[in-house]
């Protein structure tokens, strides 16, 4: 996951750094481009609270539980935050918590119940075929360029929670 995000971020950063995309930030006409990567994601990065008692999860020994990546240049900006958690709480309690938390951003799509959209649109967030796997609850809210996603699934004696926030735009 991390290497794919790094390559994608590098491509975005290069595109943002092109002379045509740079905005003049200061009175002296200078431009700025920036890039941040952290091996963690906080509730403030995700835009939603962390379920009480949930702990960071590593799927592999050398894996990280979270990642925050941001790049900006001129009028363009991109940010993605990802956090993997585990909890011993009941799935229904976790699901209700995140439906309520996401509800403040608008109507929440329940992709575990809604049929996948036959075609995606640039301005409307939809459920996709890959979202409707058996045994997972997937909630989405926002637009394709500004979205929050929470995936909840039972694994062994616990529940895995994956939280993603994407902000892509000026």
Rounded to 5°, the CA angle 94-167-121 comes to 90
pLDDT for residue 24 = 45
Q: Has residue 10 got a pLDDT over 80?
A: no
Q: Has residue 15 got a pLDDT over 80?
A: no
168 compared with 157, residue with greater pLDDT: 168
Number of domains in the chain: 1
Nearest alpha carbon to residue 146 among 116, 122, 120: 122
| pLDDT (mean) for 103-117 | 84
Cα(40)–Cα(72) distance, integer angstroms: 19
Cα(120)–Cα(88) distance, integer angstroms: 35
The CB density around residue 77, as the number of other CB atoms within 10 Å, is: 16
pLDDT for residue 43 = 94
Q: Provide the residue range defining the domain that includes 36.
A: 2-23+31-168
Q: Look at strands 109-110 and 33-38 and give their pairing.
A: unpaired
pLDDT for residue 5 = 46
Check: pTM over 0.85? Answer yes or no.
no
Tens-digit pLDDT profile for residues 28-70: 555 678 989 999 999 999 999 999 999 999 888 888 999 999 9
155, 170 in Cβ contact below 8 A? no
137 compared with 8, residue with greater pLDDT: 137
36, 76 in Cβ contact below 8 A? no
pLDDT for residue 2 = 46
Lowest-confidence segment of 39-53, 59-73, 86-100, 138-152 by average pLDDT: 59-73
| pLDDT (mean) for 126-153 | 85
């Amino acid at each position: 996951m991390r290497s794919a995000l790094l390559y994608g971020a590098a491509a975005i950063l290069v595109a943002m750094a092109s002379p045509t995309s740079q905005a003049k930030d200061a009175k002296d006409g200078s431009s700025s481009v920036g890039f941040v990567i952290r091996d963690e994601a906080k509730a403030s990065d995700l835009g939603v609270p962390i379920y009480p008692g949930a702990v960071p999860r590593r799927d592999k020994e050398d894996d990280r539980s979270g990642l925050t990546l941001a790049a900006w240049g001129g009028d363009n900006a991109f940010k993605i935050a990802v956090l993997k958690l585990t909890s011993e709480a009941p799935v229904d309690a976790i699901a209700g918590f995140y439906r309520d938390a996401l509800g403040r951003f608008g109507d929440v799509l329940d992709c575990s119940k809604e049929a996948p959209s036959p075609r995606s649109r640039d301005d409307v967030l939809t459920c996709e075929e890959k979202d409707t796997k058996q045994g997972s609850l997937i909630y989405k809210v926002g637009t394709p360029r500004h979205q929050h996603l929470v995936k909840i699934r039972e694994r062994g004696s616990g529940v895995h929670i994956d939280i993603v926030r994407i902000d892509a735009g000026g």
